[in-house]
Structure 1
Amino acid sequence: MKGILLAGGTGSRLYPNTIAINKHLLPVYDKPMIYYPLSVFMLGGIRDILIICNESDLNLYKKIIGNGEHIGLNIQFKVQKHPNGIAEAFIIGEEFINGENVCLLLGDNIFHSPNLGKKINDCINLRSGAYIFAYPVADPSRYGIVEFDDKNKAISIEEKPLKPRTNYAVPGIYFYDSKVSEIAKSIKPSDRGELEITDINNYYLSKGELKVKRFGRGSVWFDTGTTQSLYSASEYVEIVEKRQGYKIACLEEIALNHNYIRKEDMINYVELLPNSDYKQYVENLI
């Protein structure tokens, strides 16, 4: 399965923090925001990744993460010239997908769960159709909302409804089969001029090919597109890391634990890092 990380946009809701830097490069406590979705790909065994970003930010992304070789990844880049909607990622990335199944992650979404790798394992191994997730929220009118019948089967998905039928939001992690690029090219822009991911989900739903998994208690999801949520995510990461002594979304740690890179190569890489708490943490792992 391929992975697409959508990390473009203007970050207008985080103004003035995003005047000079893309929101996905802002720190979430002790590491850049983009580390967190990359860690989800790595936990799921997805190592071929396309990062879609703004042209003005391309060199910054390459400086921060490069081609991913140092952590056992193969990272490529594509530019999204205009913010034309989440679903455009499958059109921009059609050549990269190349007829394989694909997972799309939004760069400002942070997930943390003690069994996150296991939770997404079924999705990664899908044969056809699509998987999305549902997460209970207090403010459902901000999100795409999924409705279930009395047998716990998804029956509708509505984008930012004024009168939500449930409080189950669809977070920014999606798994699709190889048809998704053709589906994305067939949908029409919404009233706000964007290709909506909800339209793709509703297509699979109409064909009876959409499965929905619920994130239950113990799972944490942050949409860090606002100042408050960005602060809350940073505070959460700080509390967990200080209390338990391990880092969330340490890419080097995941690479070591999953044997994406040899220990000897990691030692050579870490020696080049500047002195910091992060470097010391990785050295202790080695």
Structure 2
Amino acid sequence: MKGIILAGGSGSRLHPMTLAMSKQLLPVGDKPMVYYPLSVLMLAGIREILVVSTPADQPHFRALLGDGSDLGLAVDHAVQPTPGGLAQAFLIGAEHIGHDPAALVLGDNIFHGPAFSDLLVENAKNVDGCVLFGYPVTDPERYGVGETDSTGRLVSIEEKPARPRSNRAITGLYFYANDVVDLARELTPSARGELEITDLNRRYLDQGRARLVDLGRGFAWLDTGTPESLLQAGEYVQTLQSRQGVRIACVEEVALRMGYIDADSCYRLGARMGNSDYGRYVMAIARELG
């Protein structure tokens, strides 16, 4: 499976913070926001990743992530010249996807929960259609909402419904079969001229090939698109890290635990940042697991 991180857009709801910097490069806790979706793909066993960003922001993502080889990954970069909808990511990334299934994660979404890697790896196997991830919310009318039958098969998808049929919001993480590129090409742009992800998901729904995985209790899904939610996400990360002594979305640790790099390589990555608590944590993990 190939991975795509969509890190485009203007981040207008976060102005003036994002007037000179990509939203996905803003700090959440002690690391850039993009580390969180990157760690999700890594935990799913995905090592070939395309980062889609704006022309102005791409040099900054290249400076931060490079080609991914330090983490045992193959990271490439592509440009979304203007916002064209989430589904446009599959047209931009068509060559990257090739003949493989694809995973898309939004660059401003944070996921955290027990046994997350096991859940991701299991659902990334043999994807025949689309796999969406649902999360219970108190205000489903603000989101795309999925309704399922007793087997987890999707029976309806509604975008910001006035009377939601369920409280399961569809999060910014999606797994698709390889035909996602062809189906994305067939989409009709919305009134805003964008290729909507909900329209794409409905294609799979109409074919009986859509499934919703419930993230459920004990899980956290955070969207960092507003100043309030960005602050809440930072507080969540800081609280857990301070109390548990672990780092959420520490990509060096994820790479080591997933077997993408060895302990010596992990230690060297930490040593580069040795003047920071984050760098010292990476070195300590490398010593512990080496």
Shared topology, TM-score over 0.5? yes
Which structure 2 residues correspond to residues 18-167 of structure 1 after superposition, within 5 A?
18-149=18-149, 152-167=152-167
Deviation at 1:265, TM superposition (A): 2.4
Residue 4 of structure 1 pairs with residue 23 of structure 2: no
Change (3 A) 1:275 1:151: closer
- Please name the residue that 1:175 is paired with: 175
SS at match of 1:99: coil
CA distance in 2 between partners of 1:267 and 1:282 (Å): 7
SS at match of 1:55: coil
Deviation at 1:110, TM superposition (A): 0.3
- Please name the residue that 1:17 is paired with: 17
Q: CA-to-partner distance for each residue in 1:22-66, whole Å, 9 max, x for gaps?
A: 100001011000000001111111010000000100110011111
Deviation at 1:137, TM superposition (A): 1.0
- Please name the residue that 2:270 is paired with: 270
The gaps in structure 2 that reach 5 residues or longer are none
RMSD, aligned CA: 1.3
> Which stretch of structure 1 is more off in the superposition, 78-87 or 157-166?
157-166
Preserved contact between residue 127 and residue 176 of structure 2 (Cα < 8 Å)? no
TM-score for both structures, normalised by structure 1: 0.96
Q: CA-to-partner distance for each residue in 1:205-240, whole Å, 9 max, x for gaps?
A: 111111111011001000111111111111110110
Residue 284 of structure 1 pairs with residue 277 of structure 2: no
- Please name the residue that 2:240 is paired with: 240
SS at match of 2:110: strand
Preserved contact between residue 29 and residue 238 of structure 2 (Cα < 8 Å)? yes
- Please name the residue that 1:199 is paired with: 199
Q: CA-to-partner distance for each residue in 1:68-102, whole Å, 9 max, x for gaps?
A: 11111110000001101000000000000001101
CA distance in 2 between partners of 1:278 and 1:160 (Å): 39
Q: CA-to-partner distance for each residue in 1:231-283, whole Å, 9 max, x for gaps?
A: 11111101100000000000111111122112222333333335110111011
CA distance in 2 between partners of 1:151 and 1:274 (Å): 49
> Which stretch of structure 1 is more off in the superposition, 53-62 or 159-168?
159-168
Q: CA-to-partner distance for each residue in 1:106-145, whole Å, 9 max, x for gaps?
A: 0000000111111112221124211101111122122111
SS at match of 1:156: strand
CA distance in 2 between partners of 1:62 and 1:126 (Å): 32
CA distance in 1 between partners of 2:213 and 2:14 (Å): 30
* Identity %, equivalent residues: 48
Deviation at 1:20, TM superposition (A): 0.8
Change (3 A) 1:65 1:151: closer
Deviation at 1:152, TM superposition (A): 5.0
Preserved contact between residue 270 and residue 280 of structure 2 (Cα < 8 Å)? no
TM-score for both structures, normalised by structure 2: 0.95
The gaps in structure 1 that reach 5 residues or longer are none
SS at match of 1:285: helix
SS at match of 2:78: strand
